[in-house]
Amino acid sequence: MPRPRVSSPRHYLMCPPEYFKVTYSINPWMNPAKPVDQRLALVQWEDLRDRYRSLGHTVSVLEPDPELPDMVYAANGATVVEGRVLGARFAHEERRAEAEAHLNWFRGQGYPEVREPVHVNEGEGDFAVTSDYILAGRGFRSSPLAHGEAQEFFGRPVIGLDLIDPRYYHLDTALCVLDEAAGEIMYYPDAFSPGSRAVLTRLFPNALRAEAADASRFGLNAVSDGHHVLLPQAATGLFEPLRARGFEPIGMDLGELLKGGGSVKCCTQELRG
């Protein structure tokens, strides 16, 4: 019998893809020659937003900027733990101004602790939070120095993980926290260096390990509320294993957003505490 799962109400920050397009390429999924259907992207995004709300979660919306086509990937703009906000600093010039938009939003909302970071970190793209740790990706975007900065700011041990496959350039493309308190995760082992794989096995011996096919459909780019797991519907191989653990997988179609190299999680920043 799978253990009973309980969802807890979440607060998410999202940014509509009103100006989403692929005009540059900073990851292997982005091909500026391939057309994007902006209207469809918006419909898919609204579907995700409405799904969160129908599950009882709160979604705040960040105003998109016509100059920043990747702003729809709101997860990258900051990391919030216990109400403390660590801003982002983007690796690529094309996205740099997004960091300021996020910082301004948090200040406008009256968050008391908002830190502009010194080192490059792409928010929840590379930081995943469990009750015990902050798991932190490096290798393509966030600087290893940002890991120390996050540890000092949040006062939680940061576990550095080396990403080695350019298709999985952010931690959230290869790993998802399913249950923070239980420290339950799913991940795609081949996205990580051998040493990091060993670290993951040691810390999370019961993790759900994804197959290559599901990883390549962005199946790890998922959001869990402790019970419901929203993930790309094409990652069919993950549904049964999630159900067997007592989770309720909810397949979403974010096909247009995949053209920018992101899916469910990339579009969703969690505002914790």
Catalytic residues: 170, 266
| Single residue of 186, 231, 264, 266 touching ligand ARG by CB under 6 A | 266
Closest Cα partner for 161 from 182, 130, 115?
Answer: 130
27 lies in the binding site for ligand ARG (CB under 6 A): yes
Contact between 268 and ligand ARG (CB under 6 A)? no
214 binds ligand ARG (CB under 6 A): no
Distances (CA, A) of 77 to 103, 172, 210: 8, 13, 27
Pick between residue 222 and residue 266 the one whose CB is nearest to ligand ARG: 266
- In contact, 222 and 244? CB cutoff 8 Å: no
Binding to ligand ARG, residues 95-154 (CB under 6 A):
95, 125
Considering only residues 70, 98, 184, 214, which one is a binding residue for ligand ARG as defined by CB under 6 A? 70
269 binds ligand ARG (CB under 6 A): no
Among 12, 45, 73, 133, binds ligand ARG (CB under 6 A): 73
What distance in Å separates the CA atoms of residue 110 and residue 71, rounded to the nearest whole number? Answer: 22
| Nearer of residues 23 and 109 to ligand ARG, judged by Cβ | 23
Indicate the residue among 5 and 225 with the shorter CB distance to ligand ARG.
Answer: 225
Nearer to ligand ARG, 70 or 270 (CB): 70
User: From CA 172, how far away is CA 270, in angstroms rounded?
Assistant: 13
Whole-angstrom CA distances from 15 to 225, 260, 269 are 20, 14, 10
What does the alpha-carbon distance between residue 144 and residue 137 come to, in Å, rounded to a whole number? 8
Instruction: Classify residue 245 by its DSSP letter.
Output: T
- Hey, what are 29's tokens? 């999924």
Residues contributing to the site for ligand ARG (CB under 6 A): 26-27, 30, 70, 73, 75-76, 95, 125, 170, 172-173, 260-262, 266
